Structure 1
Amino acid sequence: MTTKRRPHILVTGAAGALAQQVISRLRETCDLVAVDFREQVYLGDDIPSYCIDFNKRVFEDLFRRYQFDGVIHLGRILSSQLTRMRRYNANVLGTQKLLDLSQKYGIRRVIVLSTYHVYGAVAYNPALIDESAPLKSAGLSADLVDSVELENLANIYLWRYPELNITILRPCNIVGPGVRNSMSSLLGSSRAPVLAGFSPMMQFIHIDDMADAIVLAWNKPVKGVFNVAPQDWVAYQQALKLCGCQRIPLPSIPPVVPKAISRILNLRSFPTYLMAFFKYPVVIDGRAFAREFGFTPKRQLTDIFRYYQDNKRPV
């Protein structure tokens, strides 16, 4: 009797906490290969791990060697990391190479992690933004162009190669233990900047829930683009208060002033390219994903904020 072959999955962004959570959930049922172009991480003797640039020829060797059935692409480089050109090469050209190889080697399932930032933060955003809304970020900030281009690229492959079964996920702010993005840094700090006169509504999803969402998406090959967010939200300044942060108001007008202050003080967790997101609400509608994949976040906002309240970093 022959044993059934377990799914072979390539997981990118393996150095990140989210990828490691996804790997821990899938390792019992799948054969995984972990890749990150920033660093090599040890995930156990049963999971081969590589530090490889997607644009190098050796990356294709992995597809030949392991004969992947699926790809979970979580290796998007945040806008706060690397220079703009290196980030573009990693996010856009690297993703294009990944999708080309997926098509060439007959991959049957691809998950691509995007971000709600692609919608852009503007004063006239609708109260709930669904997946059909235009992606305005490219016209608002050069630092977010690669996020929109990565998505546009994935969308092209989604329609051109339906056999890849591509699902694009646009989560709200991912936070929680191990997360190293701007929002997590703000919630975890003792003092956090705010724009005077502004406190936009925001959504937060715990890293554990986001990992659950990715696994649900992997297990049900439904093509398309989906927001991933809970059906509750909270004002930014209230979130800081509940996390035990002292709020430091910055003048919000003219727009060059908060950007200059952020640059002078080197506030990495309050980057200039995200300034509009601390001014205008970007509340996304996650109901389509919840319906299609049976997703309900388990961690409440109180759980998220309690973690940051109990784990303050020294200033």
Structure 2
Amino acid sequence: MNIKTPDYHSIEEFQNRSKKLKEIRDLGIDPYPHKFEPSHMAKEIFEKYSKKDLGHFDDAAAGETPLVKFAGRLVLFRAMGKNAFAQVQDESGKIQILINRELTKVDGYDVEKSKEKQSHIKFIEKKLDLGDIIGIEGNLFHTQKGELTIFAKKVTILCKSLLPLPDKHSGIADLGVKYRKRWLDLITNPKVIDTFTKRSRIIKLIRNYLDEANFLEVETPVLQNIYGGAEAKPFQTHINALHQDMYLRISLEIPLKKLLVGGFNRVYEMSKVFRNEGLDKTHNPEFTELEAYASYWDYNDLMKFTEKLYETIALKVNNSTKVEFGSHTIDVKAPWKRLTM
């Protein structure tokens, strides 16, 4: 089978970085090691040390300040004579790194094996690029301007990146690229990471709320020989072993109600459903749906249960029942107004 060479292989930046990758390997350094154990994330370092009197440059150089191990993506680098300053970003935030000509060493790098006899700081400047993932071991200090900084004693290459990051100022302008290449959007836009994190927490809170109300979480078949529970066009597929056409489910409703018939009192499922219809900013062919059913409840019970769910999540995620949505502020505090239909 002939596999087409990706178009980006012809980009000069990719070729330059690939050359650096080979040079790093030729020096006996593994640019993709299997393991590195950070002691802290950026947010944890700031929460624990930002207000403490840590000392200054000389204290960190002498190893008299707290030692941390940190890993993340190199997003900024400035060489300034004997020192260089960098910004390294993990999923919780960014932190400044100081690289020193005398004291900072690159793990596995031997100056004598280098053709150019580059110093460790020069190796970092010439062989690393923005987008590379590195590990830092060093001592914390505050700069003269008060910025919390890691004085790097050891730098470990964890992942050599072969493609450049999007422009740091304009980010990703093309919405299509932003949605297709989420990883780039996550790197350049911290708000997207916050959205992902909040979504994960909200899903966990929904499950906790339902579990505490004695609902049983279940999994029902994604493939169905008869689709139903909603008005929607399904995706169709075929099971070769049974010579049978099947459909991806468009709703969770019918299998859950069958479980009620079977004797369960309260059940729920939160999973993917699929509808082969329109696609726009608020509609996706594949999306997550929550359905919950309780025996012996009427619609009043369900309304109270639902509004309390919203209130509980808002308080735990935002510390307030008020939620910003576009230009609107919505208060989800229970009880809600009732409108007759």
What TM-score does the superposition give when structure 2 sets the normalisation length?
A: 0.20
What TM-score does the superposition give when structure 1 sets the normalisation length?
A: 0.21
